[in-house]
Amino acid sequence: MRRLTRTVAVAALVTTLAAVAGCSSDDPEQTGGDTAADKLVSVTYLTSFANFGRDSYAWVALEKGFFRDAGFDVTIQKGQGTGGNIQAVLSGKAHYTPIDLTGGLLYVGKNQTKDFTAVAAIQQRTMAAIATTDDKGIKSPKDLEGKTLADTPGSVVRNLFPTYAKLANIDEKKVTWVDGEAATLIATLGSGKVDGIGQFVVGRPTIAAVTKKNPVFLPYSDLLTDLYGNVLIAPTKLAKEKPEEVKRFTGALLKGLEYALANPKEAGELLKKNEPTANPVAAQAELELMTSFVRSAGSGDKLGVIDVQRVARTIAILQGAGQIPHGLTPESIVSVDLTPKA
């Protein structure tokens, strides 16, 4: 009788454990909450452009556990700019990456693809610019004529240059572009091989540190005042099939962005921990410069907001310059339902 009682108890325990196991799920949609017990979703994330201070917020999100808390096991890899990052997402090599929104519009307009979508803004204003040093004699856009500039082939600075040149009233055909690598562009400028490079304005501290010269910038925002900067993109298929998963990842990344801006020194140190060649002092300075680009009067204190009316105006500018065809709409590139609301 005692043996029968023990057998029944064991059977009941096995049944209970089976029921508990049946309640768990490997479906990423169910991931969240207690990630120690749940299966983490494996994600590959590309930085926007190599590993500079402007991208350190992703390392912050990783090191502070924001990704894990949201249910993700994230691998961070170096990005190669807008064009290369889009290709990585389209080919399935990456799940998420920041790209310049205007560069994304140029890509969609040229290739007529709708296989990636923007789910949050990183910067409310474009940081795109031509960067040079004071020994090159470039003080205004007109001074670019006859000069040689370097950038990655898919960079928004390079691809948007025809529109910038038109508005600046310079002859773009008198400016020579050569290919460069994201990680070595600044060193190429410092070596004197080129007169300028495509760069974000927050790169000033890094350029000064590498070249040992005084940086000079020609910001695109001087003439293109309504453009967004980087936005976070994901495959359209992922955004449609797993919207809650995308929202969780976006939230974790933006949490890292907010922390990095509030703690730029720590963020620079975390970048250095993961990228030995990084300069933590320059990284801190980049983040401090980037703060004013991340928030705007329209977005308020809420990070990540995308205003479709502003996107529509950007589309109109590019169409007016003949860089993209008519028919493109904000919804062609932005998942309005997934973006944070002001």
CATH number for the domain harbouring residue 206: 3.40.190.10
Residue with tokens 């479906």: 27
The rounded distance, in Å, linking the Cα atoms of 117 and 238 is 10
Residue 64 lies in a domain: yes
Q: Could you tell me the maximum CA-CA distance found in the chain, to the nearest angstrom?
A: 99
Boundary of a domain, candidates 173, 207, 222: 222
Band (182; pLDDT cuts 50, 70, 90): confident
Supply the angle between the helices 280-294 and 56-63 in degrees, to the nearest 10: 100
- Residues 65 and 187 occupy one common structural domain: no
Q: What is the pLDDT of residues 47-63, one digit of tens each?
A: 999 999 999 999 999 99
- In the chain, the number of structural domains is 2
Structural domain that includes position 157: 128-222
Judged on CB neighbours under 10 Å (0-12, 13-18, 19+), 246 is buried
Beta-carbon contacts of 69 under 8 Å, excluding residues fewer than 6 positions away, are 35, 252
Judged on CB neighbours under 10 Å (0-12, 13-18, 19+), 139 is exposed
Q: What is the pTM of this model?
A: 0.82
Mean pLDDT computed over every residue of the chain: 89
Task: Compute CA distances 310 → 101, 222, 226, 228, whole Å.
Answer: 11, 17, 7, 8
- Residues 254 and 115 occupy one common structural domain: yes
Residue 178 lies in a domain: yes
For the ranges 4-8, 91-95, 137-141, 306-310, which has the lowest average pLDDT? 4-8
Q: What counts of helices (H) and strands (E) characterise the chain?
A: 14, 12
Are 221 and 160 in contact by the 8 Å Cβ rule? The answer is no
50 pairs with which residues across the strands? 79
- Look at residue 11 in the predicted model and tell me its pLDDT: 41
